[in-house]
Amino acid sequence: MQHPPQRPLRTRSGRHYPQTTAPHTVWLFDLDNTLHNASHGIFQAIDRSMTEAVAEFVRVDMDEANALRQKYWKRYGATMIGLHRHHGVDAQAFLHRSHNFDLQPLLSAEDDITHQLNRLPGRKIVLTNAPEHYARDVLQLLGMQSLFDEIWAIEHMQLQGRFRPKPSLALMQQLQARFAVPAEQFVLVEDTLRNLKSAKQLGMQTVHIFNPGTPHSALHRGRNSYVDLRTHSIRDLAQRHRKLKLVEYSSR
């Protein structure tokens, strides 16, 4: 059974930004290894849980399941897409099974991250290739959900019946149309360089959160041409955000 595209989850931020072309900055925040340290233990739990899910849904042994998990993640940006496309696996069922573990003891984030996020002017959206329920749980457990206006998760990244997760340029164009602001008023904050590259192609501003636990991060020691600001934490971003070209929303 295929599920229709879902609408992004709107959170209760208490902020009101009407659908308007009035100037304001839209921050797009990645989740894992950006808003929290997934390399602390969550990535290992996801890999284990997802491999078990692949084995169950495709009916293969754990070695083959692990190989398929990595193969489809590298090819499509999300293991679920490969399973859905090549094996007919129900996307929603797989997402829930593969991210079904106790998050609380594994979560690790900057101590004052909510304060630092509040220092950044503009709308704040979570943009993640992870499933919605996982993103929502992470934000709630860390006390951050009220800071974000929406969560765009993998379920919402569908165009013309196909999943288009980061780093899809079509996804970035969809976001621009949704929020009705010029590309240069977006700021994508990410630990994954290939996602920043596609955002910059559209004209968005880009911030690289360097995390040594992110795949391939250790290979990049300098700042790439498609990165406007390279930083190591949200606190550092809050201190240096004026190096970006930000526009604060005004109702006047």
| DSSP reduced 3-state for 28 | strand
- The confidence score (pLDDT) of residue 10 equals 57
Assign domain 42-98 to its CATH architecture: Orthogonal Bundle (1.10)
pLDDT mean over 56-67? 98
- The one-character DSSP state at 126 is E
pLDDT band for 224, please (50, 70, 90 cuts): confident
- The CATH superfamily assigned to 9-36+108-243 is HAD superfamily/HAD-like (3.40.50.1000)
Domain with CATH 3.40.50.1000 in the chain: 9-36+108-243
pTM across the whole model: 0.88
Domain with CATH 1.10.150.450 in the chain: 42-98
- The confidence score (pLDDT) of residue 41 equals 93
- The confidence score (pLDDT) of residue 251 equals 43
pLDDT band for 9, please (50, 70, 90 cuts): low
Phi and psi of 61, rounded to 5°?
-75, 170
Q: Which of 81, 23, 95, 11 is nearest to 53 (CA)?
A: 95
pLDDT mean over 70-75? 95
